[in-house]
Amino acid sequence: MTKIATFDDWIDLFRQWQRDIGFDSSLIPDYPFDAIYEDPPISEVEFGEFAGVKKWERILEVPTQEMRDALLHLIVYQGDTEFASSEQQRHLVRTAPTSYDLQCLLRVMREEMRHGWQMSHLLVTHFGNSGKLEARKLLERRAYEGSRLLGAFNEPVDHWLDFFTYTTFIDRDGKYQLTMLRHSAFAPLARSMGPMLKEEAFHLFTGLSGLSRILKTGKIPTEIIQKYLNKWIPTAYDLFGKDQSTSAIRFYRWGLKGRFDEDPTAAPPEDLERLNEEARSHYVREIQEIIRGLNQLIPEDRTQLYVPDVKFNRRIGEFADQTFGVDGNRLTVEEHQRHLQEVLPGAQDHEVLQAIFREGSWITGVKNAG
Ligand SMILES: [Fe+2]
Ligand SMILES: [Fe+2]
């Protein structure tokens, strides 16, 4: 195994990783991969036990080893998702419905790679040997081998409807995580987030405009689109972490990860035990608005889309591995088995979709683009 001494060594591994996942880097010939740090919006620790002291620029300024380990963990998990999403999306380059969509996909992929690059830069620059080791491991796990750290990032993204659903709902979780880390007391991490968030906004736009353009043609039945919402949204709920999470409490008390709506003038959280649930409920409200907007594009006599209940098909938290349906009702084990077959995408949906894709014109074109 190659040992990383400098960031240049890591860059060599990154190029190898691109080749290994089958990403043709000649498709993005002039893209300057770089770590980008902005000036911090706020220079003092914003919340928690260290509120008011100057944010830490160097890892040795972070008061305890436990806190340094927690920071390493946060950066590793963030970085893992970035490389994983490129692995999930790598096949789609061959099947883009329009040249505009291909350009959007390549932009999303190169920016996810840059986000992973940014997290690796933090690890290699600040975290000594363990950071170098973790930065290497970010390029060794694989979404398509199921070895990425979080469930959503080991799921296959099979086609472009899947991609648009993924970018609308999974990248949106990314927006929440980045926003919470933007308040971090570790200044280089906080300063990484602004530029990443700007790029993330484009991913959300790509997903939502893709779904809108699909709905405008009316070629893909909304029942099938709903199944993809049912596939991804519960995995996005899981990404917010356990309820009553002790690590979320520690991240907050130590000033490392804030709330989504963190604001130095706001009251401190009423209940530290509910930090993850609180972030998730912001997300739920936001996607309810998104679905409401999408439903405007569906003729009234057709099936409307809805947000699956937060209890449905969860792998993490108090509802994990239980038999709730998409509407939140509890089912028997047999009913639940049957229900999953009905509400999640299956082989038959796949066939219907492939036929629709072959026919073409299932998504509206984009004027003056591409
Ligand atoms: Fe990202
Ligand atoms: Fe993204």
Within a domain: residue 28?
A: no
pLDDT digits (tens, 9 = 90+) for 29-44: 999 999 999 987 789 9
Ligand closest to Cα of 78 equals 1
Give the Å distance between the CA of 236 and the centre of ligand 2.
13
Q: Report whether 186 contacts 43 (CB < 8 A).
A: no
Task: For the chain, give the mean pLDDT.
Answer: 95
Within a domain: residue 104?
A: yes
> Could you list which residues have their CB under 5 Å from ion ligand 1?
82, 112, 115
Within a domain: residue 265?
A: yes
Nearest to 224 by CA among 305, 339, 307: 305
CB-based burial of residue 306 (10 Å sphere; 0-12 exposed, 13-18 middle, 19+ buried)? middle
Within a domain: residue 34?
A: no
The whole-number average pLDDT for the span 335-360 is 97
Give the Å distance between the CA of 215 and the centre of ligand 2.
22
Ligand closest to Cα of 203 equals 2
Give the Å distance between the CA of 99 and the centre of ligand 1.
22
pLDDT band at residue 297 using 50, 70 and 90 as cut-offs? very high
Residue 50 has pLDDT above 50, yes or no: yes
Residue 51 has pLDDT above 60, yes or no: yes
Give the Å distance between the CA of 333 and the centre of ligand 2.
36
| CA–CA distance, 277 with 279 (Å, rounded to integer) | 5
Give the Å distance between the CA of 80 and the centre of ligand 2.
12
Length of the chain equals 370
Give the Å distance between the CA of 135 and the centre of ligand 2.
19
Residue 370 has pLDDT above 50, yes or no: no
Ligand closest to Cα of 112 equals 1
Give the Å distance between the CA of 303 and the centre of ligand 1.
32
Give the Å distance between the CA of 248 and the centre of ligand 1.
21
Give the Å distance between the CA of 111 and the centre of ligand 1.
7
Residue 274 has pLDDT above 50, yes or no: yes
Query: pTM (2 decimals)?
Result: 0.96
325 token code pair: 């349906």
pLDDT band at residue 249 using 50, 70 and 90 as cut-offs? very high
What's the confidence (pLDDT) of residue 1?
A: 59
Q: In terms of residue numbers, what domain contains 114? A: 49-359
What's the confidence (pLDDT) of residue 368?
A: 55
* Number of folded domains that form the chain: 1
CATH number of the domain to which 245 belongs: 1.10.620.20
Give the Å distance between the CA of 115 and the centre of ligand 1.
5
> Could you list which residues have their CB under 5 Å from ion ligand 2?
171, 174, 200, 203
